[in-house]
C-alpha cells in the first residue's frame, strides 16, 4: 500500500493539472467569433408573411466604391428586426445612422470578399454586429441582400 500511494497522488495531480490547463486554454484555443455569433444568434422563428412585413425594413440604392477603387457595388438590403417597436426605431435612424455604417463597411471591403454566398453572409454578419450596437430598442436579427451588382469602373 505504501508503494501505491505516491503513484495515486501523482495520477491525481496529473488529472488535476490537465483539467486546469484545459480550463485556462479553452478560451484561447476556441475564441468567440463575432461573425459566427451574429449568424448563430439569429432567432429561427417561423413568422407568417404579414409578421415578416411588420418587422422588416428596407434600404435600397446603396451605391459606392469598395476598398479597391476600380470596383463599384450597387446593393439593396432587407433588415428583419425582433419587434415592431425596434423596426420603428430602425426606420427613424436608417438614413442618419444605418446607411453610413453600411457605406463605411463596404468602403473597407475588397471585391473578392463579396464573392459567393459565404462572402455575402460574412458581410451580413458584420453589419448585424455593427448595427446592433447603435440600436437602443430591440435588435436586428437578420439581413438579406435583395439586390447585388458588382462592376468595374
Domain residue spans of the chain: 4-31, 37-152
Residue % of the chain over a pLDDT of 90: 65
Residue 108, Cα to own-chain centre: how many angstroms? Answer: 16
- pLDDT tens by residue, 3-33: 888 888 899 999 998 988 888 877 776 666 5
Do residues 53 and 106 make contact, with C-beta atoms less than 8 angstroms apart?
no
Please tell me which residue, 31 or 145, carries the higher pLDDT value: 145
Task: Name the CATH code of domain 37-152 (choices 3.20.20.80, 3.40.50.150, 3.30.479.30, 3.40.50.300).
Answer: 3.30.479.30
- Give the model's pLDDT for residue 118: 92
Instruction: Tell me the pTM.
Output: 0.69
Q: What is the DSSP string of 72-104?
A: EEEEEEEEEESSHHHHHHHHHHIIIIIHHHHHH
- pLDDT tens by residue, 38-75: 444 444 457 788 889 999 999 999 999 999 999 999 99
Do residues 150 and 71 make contact, with C-beta atoms less than 8 angstroms apart?
yes
Four-point Cα dihedral 97, 62, 126, 81, nearest 10: 60
Q: What is the DSSP string of 132-144?
A: HHH-SSS-EEEEE
Amino acid at each position: 500500500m505504501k508503494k501505491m500511494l505516491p503513484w495515486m497522488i501523482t495520477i491525481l495531480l496529473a488529472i488535476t493539472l490537465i483539467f486546469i490547463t484545459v480550463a485556462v486554454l479553452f478560451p484561447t484555443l476556441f475564441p468567440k467569433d463575432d461573425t459566427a455569433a451574429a449568424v448563430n444568434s439569429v432567432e429561427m422563428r417561423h413568422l407568417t408573411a404579414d409578421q415578416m412585413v411588420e418587422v422588416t425594413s428596407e434600404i435600397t440604392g446603396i451605391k459606392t466604391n469598395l476598398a479597391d477603387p476600380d470596383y463599384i457595388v450597387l446593393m439593396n438590403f432587407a433588415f428583419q428586426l425582433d419587434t415592431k417597436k425596434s423596426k420603428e426605431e430602425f426606420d427613424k435612424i436608417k438614413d442618419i445612422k444605418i446607411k453610413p455604417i453600411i457605406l463605411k463597411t463596404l468602403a473597407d471591403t475588397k471585391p473578392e470578399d463579396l464573392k459567393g454566398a459565404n462572402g455575402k453572409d460574412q458581410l451580413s454578419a458584420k453589419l448585424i454586429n455593427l448595427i446592433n450596437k447603435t440600436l437602443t430598442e430591440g435588435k436586428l436579427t437578420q439581413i438579406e441582400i435583395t439586390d447585388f451588382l458588382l462592376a468595374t469602373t
